[in-house]
Amino acid sequence: MNGRPTTLDEFWPFYVSQHLNPVNRRLHVCGTTSGLLLGISALIGRAPLLIVAAIVLAYAFAWAGHSFYERNLPATFAHPLLSLRADLRMYWLTLRGEMDAEILMRTQQLKQLRAD
């Protein structure tokens, strides 16, 4: 990635390059689903501490995937908002069964990113 990305489309190829391992992507889906469900429960039950727990739970799954399977640092540290948006895009593509095709489509871009 040359320079700091400012849009999701600029950030997306880098994000995909950090999520090539299917186990990591599955852990992201588990974390995002768990976090969303706990967050909704927190809002319905008016329990603000559960919102914090939802965020921690979602990130715990993702960070485990990066640490143990992808062996890289989560993009959250350098790009928190773009990373959140990209995670939601990956979540949606994964649920629709389209993330593997997205990775294949981005192969050339990923090779270029790894060369930089």
Neighbours of 18 (CB within 10 A): 18
Q: What is the pLDDT of residues 51-92, one digit of tens each?
A: 999 999 999 999 999 999 999 999 998 999 999 999 999 999
Query: Which pair of tokens denotes residue 37?
Result: 């469900």
Q: Does this model's pTM top 0.85?
A: yes
Please name the residue that has the structure tokens 């768990």: 34
Enumerate the domain spans of the chain: 28-115
d(CA 65, CA 31): 10
Q: Residue 4 pLDDT > 80, yes or no? A: yes
